[in-house]
Structure 1
Amino acid sequence: MTDAVRPPLPPFTEESARAKVQAAEDAWNSRDPERVALAYTEDSVWRNRDRFLTGRAEIRAFLADKWSRELDYRLRKELWAYTGHRISVRFEYEWHDADGRWWRSHGNEQWEFDANGLMSRREASINDVPIREADRRLH
Protein backbone atom coordinates (compact mmCIF):
# COMPACT_ATOMS: atom_id res chain seq x y z
CA MET A 1 0.00 0.00 0.00
CA THR A 2 1.02 3.59 -0.45
CA ASP A 3 1.03 6.30 2.16
CA ALA A 4 -0.08 8.95 -0.36
CA VAL A 5 -3.13 10.97 0.60
CA ARG A 6 -5.61 12.12 -2.05
CA PRO A 7 -8.26 14.50 -0.61
CA PRO A 8 -11.13 14.74 -0.27
CA LEU A 9 -11.18 11.84 2.14
CA PRO A 10 -14.04 9.58 3.19
CA PRO A 11 -16.52 9.61 4.74
CA PHE A 12 -17.95 11.72 1.94
CA THR A 13 -20.40 14.59 2.15
CA GLU A 14 -22.28 15.78 -0.92
CA GLU A 15 -19.73 18.58 -1.36
CA SER A 16 -16.68 16.31 -0.99
CA ALA A 17 -18.20 13.62 -3.25
CA ARG A 18 -18.82 16.22 -5.95
CA ALA A 19 -15.22 17.44 -5.58
CA LYS A 20 -13.94 13.85 -5.92
CA VAL A 21 -15.99 13.33 -9.09
CA GLN A 22 -14.74 16.61 -10.59
CA ALA A 23 -11.13 15.70 -9.78
CA ALA A 24 -11.60 12.35 -11.54
CA GLU A 25 -13.16 14.03 -14.59
CA ASP A 26 -10.28 16.52 -14.79
CA ALA A 27 -7.64 13.80 -14.47
CA TRP A 28 -9.22 11.51 -17.08
CA ASN A 29 -9.59 14.42 -19.51
CA SER A 30 -5.82 14.97 -19.24
CA ARG A 31 -5.43 11.56 -20.97
CA ASP A 32 -2.28 11.09 -18.89
CA PRO A 33 -2.10 7.46 -17.67
CA GLU A 34 0.53 8.35 -15.03
CA ARG A 35 -1.58 11.13 -13.53
CA VAL A 36 -4.77 9.07 -13.54
CA ALA A 37 -3.13 5.96 -12.06
CA LEU A 38 -1.95 7.91 -9.00
CA ALA A 39 -5.58 8.20 -7.82
CA TYR A 40 -5.72 4.41 -7.26
CA THR A 41 -4.19 2.22 -4.56
CA GLU A 42 -1.18 0.12 -5.55
CA ASP A 43 -3.45 -2.97 -5.43
CA SER A 44 -6.62 -1.37 -6.80
CA VAL A 45 -9.07 -3.81 -8.42
CA TRP A 46 -10.99 -2.83 -11.55
CA ARG A 47 -13.71 -4.23 -13.72
CA ASN A 48 -13.91 -2.20 -16.90
CA ARG A 49 -16.51 -3.66 -19.25
CA ASP A 50 -15.26 -7.25 -19.64
CA ARG A 51 -11.70 -6.54 -18.46
CA PHE A 52 -10.44 -7.25 -14.97
CA LEU A 53 -7.34 -5.42 -13.76
CA THR A 54 -5.35 -5.41 -10.55
CA GLY A 55 -2.81 -2.80 -9.52
CA ARG A 56 -1.53 0.52 -10.76
CA ALA A 57 0.81 -0.97 -13.37
CA GLU A 58 -2.06 -2.77 -15.12
CA ILE A 59 -4.27 0.33 -14.82
CA ARG A 60 -1.55 2.54 -16.31
CA ALA A 61 -1.02 0.14 -19.25
CA PHE A 62 -4.77 -0.17 -19.81
CA LEU A 63 -5.19 3.62 -19.94
CA ALA A 64 -2.23 4.12 -22.29
CA ASP A 65 -3.74 1.56 -24.67
CA LYS A 66 -7.24 3.06 -24.31
CA TRP A 67 -6.14 6.57 -25.22
CA SER A 68 -4.02 5.33 -28.12
CA ARG A 69 -7.26 3.97 -29.68
CA GLU A 70 -9.90 6.40 -28.34
CA LEU A 71 -8.71 9.60 -30.02
CA ASP A 72 -9.75 13.12 -28.98
CA TYR A 73 -11.36 11.59 -25.89
CA ARG A 74 -13.58 13.98 -23.89
CA LEU A 75 -15.42 12.94 -20.71
CA ARG A 76 -18.17 14.23 -18.40
CA LYS A 77 -18.92 12.61 -15.01
CA GLU A 78 -21.92 13.23 -12.77
CA LEU A 79 -22.35 12.28 -9.13
CA TRP A 80 -25.14 9.73 -8.82
CA ALA A 81 -24.93 8.73 -5.14
CA TYR A 82 -22.49 8.53 -2.23
CA THR A 83 -22.23 7.02 1.21
CA GLY A 84 -19.34 6.59 3.62
CA HIS A 85 -16.35 5.55 1.48
CA ARG A 86 -18.26 4.84 -1.76
CA ILE A 87 -19.32 7.01 -4.70
CA SER A 88 -21.45 6.11 -7.71
CA VAL A 89 -21.26 8.13 -10.93
CA ARG A 90 -22.83 8.18 -14.37
CA PHE A 91 -20.73 9.36 -17.26
CA GLU A 92 -20.48 9.80 -20.98
CA TYR A 93 -17.51 10.38 -23.18
CA GLU A 94 -16.93 10.94 -26.87
CA TRP A 95 -14.04 9.86 -29.02
CA HIS A 96 -13.17 8.75 -32.52
CA ASP A 97 -11.28 5.76 -33.82
CA ALA A 98 -8.37 5.73 -36.28
CA ASP A 99 -10.85 5.55 -39.18
CA GLY A 100 -12.53 8.78 -38.06
CA ARG A 101 -15.75 7.17 -36.77
CA TRP A 102 -17.16 8.98 -33.72
CA TRP A 103 -18.58 7.25 -30.66
CA ARG A 104 -20.40 8.25 -27.50
CA SER A 105 -19.83 5.91 -24.59
CA HIS A 106 -22.32 5.87 -21.70
CA GLY A 107 -21.76 4.20 -18.38
CA ASN A 108 -21.93 3.86 -14.62
CA GLU A 109 -19.11 3.44 -12.16
CA GLN A 110 -19.05 2.36 -8.55
CA TRP A 111 -16.00 3.53 -6.61
CA GLU A 112 -14.66 2.42 -3.24
CA PHE A 113 -11.95 4.40 -1.43
CA ASP A 114 -9.43 3.68 1.29
CA ALA A 115 -8.94 5.98 4.28
CA ASN A 116 -6.33 8.01 2.34
CA GLY A 117 -8.82 8.87 -0.42
CA LEU A 118 -7.27 6.52 -3.00
CA MET A 119 -9.63 4.38 -5.04
CA SER A 120 -9.27 0.73 -4.08
CA ARG A 121 -12.03 -0.61 -6.31
CA ARG A 122 -13.70 0.51 -9.54
CA GLU A 123 -16.59 -1.27 -11.26
CA ALA A 124 -17.50 0.19 -14.69
CA SER A 125 -20.28 -0.78 -17.07
CA ILE A 126 -20.06 0.97 -20.45
CA ASN A 127 -21.97 0.95 -23.75
CA ASP A 128 -20.80 2.55 -27.01
CA VAL A 129 -23.11 4.25 -29.51
CA PRO A 130 -21.93 5.41 -32.94
CA ILE A 131 -22.58 9.12 -33.58
CA ARG A 132 -21.98 11.58 -36.38
CA GLU A 133 -19.27 14.13 -35.72
CA ALA A 134 -21.94 16.84 -36.11
CA ASP A 135 -23.85 15.28 -33.18
CA ARG A 136 -21.02 15.62 -30.67
CA ARG A 137 -21.96 17.26 -27.37
CA LEU A 138 -18.55 17.30 -25.68
CA HIS A 139 -15.83 19.52 -27.09
Structure 2
Amino acid sequence: MADSSANEILASMSAPSLPALNHLKKKEKQSMKHQAFLSRLPMSSVTPTPYSRSHNRREKRKQKERLVAKMDDLDAALEALGGGGSAAGQVDIPGVTSARKREKASGVQLEPGKIGEGKGSTLSASQRKAVL
Protein backbone atom coordinates (compact mmCIF):
# COMPACT_ATOMS: atom_id res chain seq x y z
CA MET A 1 0.00 0.00 0.00
CA ALA A 2 2.83 2.34 0.60
CA ASP A 3 3.85 2.05 -3.05
CA SER A 4 0.40 2.93 -4.46
CA SER A 5 -0.62 6.53 -5.01
CA ALA A 6 -3.39 8.32 -3.14
CA ASN A 7 -5.57 8.46 -6.26
CA GLU A 8 -5.39 4.67 -6.66
CA ILE A 9 -6.32 4.15 -3.01
CA LEU A 10 -9.29 6.53 -3.28
CA ALA A 11 -10.46 4.86 -6.49
CA SER A 12 -10.25 1.40 -4.92
CA MET A 13 -12.16 2.55 -1.82
CA SER A 14 -14.96 4.28 -3.70
CA ALA A 15 -15.47 1.65 -6.42
CA PRO A 16 -16.95 -1.17 -4.26
CA SER A 17 -19.08 1.19 -2.18
CA LEU A 18 -20.86 2.63 -5.22
CA PRO A 19 -23.97 0.59 -5.95
CA ALA A 20 -24.80 -0.61 -9.41
CA LEU A 21 -27.64 1.93 -9.58
CA ASN A 22 -25.64 4.01 -12.05
CA HIS A 23 -26.06 1.31 -14.68
CA LEU A 24 -29.77 0.68 -14.08
CA LYS A 25 -32.45 2.12 -16.27
CA LYS A 26 -35.16 4.41 -14.91
CA LYS A 27 -37.84 1.70 -14.93
CA GLU A 28 -35.56 -0.68 -13.04
CA LYS A 29 -34.85 1.97 -10.39
CA GLN A 30 -38.57 2.67 -10.05
CA SER A 31 -39.37 -1.01 -9.66
CA MET A 32 -36.66 -1.40 -7.01
CA LYS A 33 -38.02 1.58 -5.06
CA HIS A 34 -41.55 0.22 -5.40
CA GLN A 35 -40.52 -3.20 -4.10
CA ALA A 36 -38.72 -1.57 -1.16
CA PHE A 37 -41.86 0.45 -0.40
CA LEU A 38 -44.09 -2.62 -0.57
CA SER A 39 -41.79 -4.52 1.77
CA ARG A 40 -42.30 -1.79 4.41
CA LEU A 41 -46.11 -1.97 4.23
CA PRO A 42 -48.11 -4.44 6.31
CA MET A 43 -49.26 -7.44 4.31
CA SER A 44 -52.99 -6.85 4.89
CA SER A 45 -52.93 -3.57 2.99
CA VAL A 46 -50.80 -4.96 0.17
CA THR A 47 -52.90 -8.00 -0.69
CA PRO A 48 -55.35 -7.03 -3.40
CA THR A 49 -59.02 -7.82 -2.98
CA PRO A 50 -61.31 -8.61 -5.89
CA TYR A 51 -63.75 -5.88 -4.84
CA SER A 52 -63.53 -2.13 -4.41
CA ARG A 53 -63.76 -0.34 -1.06
CA SER A 54 -67.25 0.91 -1.83
CA HIS A 55 -68.38 -2.64 -2.66
CA ASN A 56 -66.95 -3.85 0.66
CA ARG A 57 -68.77 -1.04 2.50
CA ARG A 58 -72.06 -1.99 0.81
CA GLU A 59 -71.58 -5.63 1.78
CA LYS A 60 -70.89 -4.69 5.41
CA ARG A 61 -73.98 -2.48 5.48
CA LYS A 62 -76.13 -5.30 4.06
CA GLN A 63 -74.79 -7.68 6.71
CA LYS A 64 -75.69 -5.19 9.44
CA GLU A 65 -79.20 -4.80 8.02
CA ARG A 66 -79.64 -8.58 7.97
CA LEU A 67 -78.45 -8.72 11.57
CA VAL A 68 -80.96 -6.05 12.57
CA ALA A 69 -83.75 -8.02 10.89
CA LYS A 70 -82.70 -11.17 12.73
CA MET A 71 -82.55 -9.26 16.01
CA ASP A 72 -86.07 -7.88 15.39
CA ASP A 73 -87.37 -11.40 14.77
CA LEU A 74 -85.67 -12.57 17.94
CA ASP A 75 -87.13 -9.65 19.87
CA ALA A 76 -90.62 -10.43 18.59
CA ALA A 77 -90.22 -14.10 19.53
CA LEU A 78 -89.05 -13.20 23.04
CA GLU A 79 -91.97 -10.83 23.50
CA ALA A 80 -94.39 -13.53 22.34
CA LEU A 81 -92.94 -16.05 24.78
CA GLY A 82 -92.42 -13.75 27.74
CA GLY A 83 -95.47 -11.56 27.29
CA GLY A 84 -93.33 -8.45 27.08
CA GLY A 85 -89.95 -7.74 28.58
CA SER A 86 -89.02 -5.92 31.72
CA ALA A 87 -87.28 -2.58 31.36
CA ALA A 88 -84.35 -3.77 33.47
CA GLY A 89 -83.76 -6.81 31.25
CA GLN A 90 -83.59 -4.87 28.01
CA VAL A 91 -80.21 -3.80 26.70
CA ASP A 92 -79.79 -1.03 24.15
CA ILE A 93 -77.46 -2.02 21.35
CA PRO A 94 -76.23 0.93 19.27
CA GLY A 95 -77.47 0.81 15.69
CA VAL A 96 -80.11 -1.84 16.44
CA THR A 97 -83.69 -0.67 16.84
CA SER A 98 -86.87 -2.65 17.11
CA ALA A 99 -89.40 -2.72 14.31
CA ARG A 100 -91.88 -0.74 16.41
CA LYS A 101 -89.43 2.12 16.95
CA ARG A 102 -88.71 2.31 13.23
CA GLU A 103 -92.42 2.32 12.39
CA LYS A 104 -93.07 5.16 14.83
CA ALA A 105 -90.13 7.18 13.53
CA SER A 106 -90.95 6.85 9.84
CA GLY A 107 -94.75 6.81 10.03
CA VAL A 108 -95.01 5.38 6.50
CA GLN A 109 -93.83 1.95 5.50
CA LEU A 110 -91.20 2.10 2.78
CA GLU A 111 -91.39 -0.16 -0.21
CA PRO A 112 -88.58 -2.70 -0.30
CA GLY A 113 -85.87 -1.70 -2.73
CA LYS A 114 -86.84 1.97 -2.59
CA ILE A 115 -84.08 4.30 -1.46
CA GLY A 116 -85.10 7.04 0.96
CA GLU A 117 -88.63 8.12 1.70
CA GLY A 118 -89.59 9.18 -1.81
CA LYS A 119 -91.43 12.33 -2.77
CA GLY A 120 -94.96 11.35 -1.85
CA SER A 121 -97.70 13.75 -2.97
CA THR A 122 -96.88 17.36 -3.79
CA LEU A 123 -98.76 20.40 -2.51
CA SER A 124 -101.65 21.84 -4.47
CA ALA A 125 -101.53 25.40 -5.79
CA SER A 126 -103.68 26.73 -2.93
CA GLN A 127 -101.50 24.99 -0.36
CA ARG A 128 -98.36 26.49 -1.89
CA LYS A 129 -99.94 29.97 -1.73
CA ALA A 130 -100.88 29.42 1.90
CA VAL A 131 -97.28 28.53 2.76
CA LEU A 132 -96.00 31.79 1.26
TM-score range, shorter chain: under 0.3
More strand by share: 1
Query: Which one has more relative contact order, counting CA pairs under 8 Å at least 6 apart?
Result: 1
Whichever of the two has the greater Rg, that structure is 2
Give the number of the structure whose residues are more often helix, by fraction. Answer: 2
TM-score where L is the length of structure 2: 0.22
Superposition TM-score, scaled by structure 1 size = 0.21
